[in-house]
Amino acid sequence: MVATILRKLNVQVYGESEPTVVLAHGFGSDQTAWRHQVDALSQQHRVIIFDYLGCGKSDVSAYNPLQYSSFDGYCNDVLALYEALDLNQTIFVGHSVSAMIGILISRQQPALISKLVFIGASPRYLNDGAYHGGFEQANLNAVYEAMAANYFDWANGFAPMVVGAPDRPELGQEFANSLAAMRPDIAQSTARWIFEADLRHELLFVQQPVLLLQTANDIFVPMEVGIYLSLHIPHNRLVVLEGQGHLPHLSMPNAITQEIQGFIAGVWEK
pLDDT, residue 266, reads 86
pLDDT at 164 over 70: yes
Domain of 15, in residue numbers: 2-269
pLDDT at 269 over 90: no
CA nearest neighbour of 10 among 29, 34, 31, 26:
31
Catalytic site residues?
96, 218, 246
Neighbours of 116 (CB within 10 A): 27
With cut-offs at 50, 70 and 90, classify the pLDDT of residue 150.
very high
- Percent of the chain exceeding pLDDT 90 equals 97
User: pLDDT per residue over 85-133, tens digit each?
Assistant: 999 999 999 999 999 999 999 999 999 999 999 999 999 999 999 999 9
Give CA separation, 186 vs 73, 137, 160, 179, in Å: 13, 20, 21, 11
User: pLDDT per residue over 196-243, tens digit each?
Assistant: 999 999 999 999 999 999 999 999 999 999 999 999 999 999 999 999
With cut-offs at 50, 70 and 90, classify the pLDDT of residue 261.
very high
User: pLDDT per residue over 1-52, tens digit each?
Assistant: 566 999 999 999 999 999 999 999 999 999 999 999 999 999 999 999 999 9
Residues 147-151 have a mean pLDDT of 97
pLDDT, residue 63, reads 96
With cut-offs at 50, 70 and 90, classify the pLDDT of residue 268.
low
Q: Are 220 and 246 in contact (CB under 8 A)?
A: yes
With cut-offs at 50, 70 and 90, classify the pLDDT of residue 270.
very low
Return the CATH number at 52.
3.40.50.1820
User: pLDDT per residue over 51-64, tens digit each?
Assistant: 999 999 999 999 99
The tally of domains found in the chain comes to 1
pTM: 0.96
